[in-house]
Structure 1
Amino acid sequence: MEEEFHELTDRVRAELRSPQDLVAYERLLGLARKNTPAGREELARMLVAVERPLWAREIAAFVLGCAGDKRAFETLVLLLNYREPVRCATAAHALGRLGDPRTARAAAALATNPLRTAYALHPVRLLAELRAPQSVPALIATLERLLTPHNPYWRVALACVEGLGALGDRRAVPALTAAVAHPRLAAAAAASLARLGVHEEVPAGDGTASEGAASGGGEVEGASADGT
């Protein structure tokens, strides 16, 4: 987790607002780096302590989650559904390493909730990474719901398309075939179908439509900064 931990701590350092914050931050990093049972106990207490800043709980949950400590689960799921995509990404990384059987169920619930579609990108990607029994049904349901004209959450739909191709389950063929008709999804959907042994022609003019999605370029009205 070294690279991700450095990215997290560098970001959090920019959020500090007082000398007291800096002292607490340095102490927290010391606990994380020692990686002792006593240190993990203190990190776990931080998750439920009153009036702890979000950045402190985020670091504690990330460290514990990557260490496989299931006490981090609730905090990480909260962050997976947070309004800031960078925190969602951090939580998804730790949840992918936590090894908690509840993770896939939580990610599926977030991905399929139509009221939380704006925050569904990282739950969708996590489901594909986990390869759990819930993964394929949740990705199919989410993709089918997003296959409407002018849907602003095309990045979430694209993540579903790519995830279903990676999972290699033929139950996804009908949804992926329908996705070929959508310009921003067409090339990725055809590629995923090919991985499943189904060859679908990309409509003329749609072959490069998903390039912006793959590169992360362009923003959509009402979308978050990281892919919704």
Structure 2
Amino acid sequence: MEDHFHELTDRVRGELRSPADLVTYERLLGLARKNTPAGREELARMLTAVERPLWTREIAAFSLGCAGDRRAFETLVLLLNYRDPVRCATAAHALARLGDPRTARAAAALATNPLRTAYALHPVRLLVDLRAPESVPALISTLERLLTPHTPYWRVALACVEGLGALGDRRAVPALTSALDHPRLAAAAAASLARLDSAGNGSR
């Protein structure tokens, strides 16, 4: 957690606007580092506090999520679907460590929603990290939808291709084979198919 926590706190420090913000920021950092039951209670209250800047909820949710406190789930899913990719990445890291059984379902819903494709990169990567039953079907569905010429979301498609290779499930073969016809995906699709073939050969 430490490296990601430092990246988060360094970024958030640039969002502070007043001496009161600095006091709140330092209070949150102290609570997160101590990780005591009383501290987690205070962090949890930050998740629903009104008239607070988003960064307070982000620090609280990240800290609680990495500590396995499921009260962070709703805020982390909100951040996973946020317009700022850096906040999405932070949320995905915490969700991967949260251990909440709802996480894979939520990530799959975000990844497969055609109205949210612009924000699907980190949900896709999270599904790969989780290796949940929802992961492969969601990645296949998302990839198949993006196998159109000149898609602006080819990075999401590429994450699906690479993730399907890492997950090693042969249900992905048809979608990966179709991806061979797309110049930006072809090399990764060939590599993922080779990984699936190698895994299959090794299991016999």
Query: What TM-score comes out, normalization by structure 1 length?
Result: 0.86
CA-CA distance at 1:138 after TM superposition: 0.2
Structure 1 spans left out of the alignment, 5+ residues: 199-228
Q: CA deviation at 1:52?
A: 1.6
Partner letter of residue 12 of structure 2?
V
Residues 183-225 of structure 1: per-residue CA shift (max 9 Å, x gap): 0000000000000118xxxxxxxxxxxxxxxxxxxxxxxxxxx
Structure 1 counterpart of 2:201: none
Q: Secondary structure in 1 aligned to 2:152?
A: coil
Q: Which amino acid aligns with 1:137?
A: P
Richer in helix (by share)? 2
C-alpha distance in 1 between matches for 2:156 and 2:17: 34
Aligned to 2:5: 5
- Give 1:213's aligned residue: none
Deviation beyond 3 Å, 4+ runs, structure 1:
none
1:76 aligns with 2:76: yes
Question: Any idea what the Cα deviations from partners look like across 1:92-126, whole Å, max 9, x if unmatched?
Answer: 00000000000000000000000000000000000
* Partner SS for 2:76: helix
What corresponds to 1:217 in structure 2? none
Amino acid at match of 2:11: R
Residue 2 of structure 1 and its aligned partner are, at CA, apart by: 0.4
SS at structure 1 position matched to 2:197: coil
CA distance in 1, matches of 2:34, 2:67: 12
Count of aligned pairs between the two proteins: 198
Offset from partner CA, 1:40-87 (integer Å, 9 cap, x none): 000001101111210000000000000000000000000000000000
* Structure 2 alignment gaps of length 5 or more: 199-204
Residues 136-175 of structure 1 aligned to structure 2 (within 5 Å): 136-175=136-175
Instruction: Please give the root-mean-square deviation of Cα atoms over the aligned residues, in Å.
Output: 0.7
Alignment match, 1:218: none
In the TM superposition, residue 135 of structure 1 has moved relative to its aligned partner by 0.2
Q: TM-score, normalised by structure 2?
A: 0.96
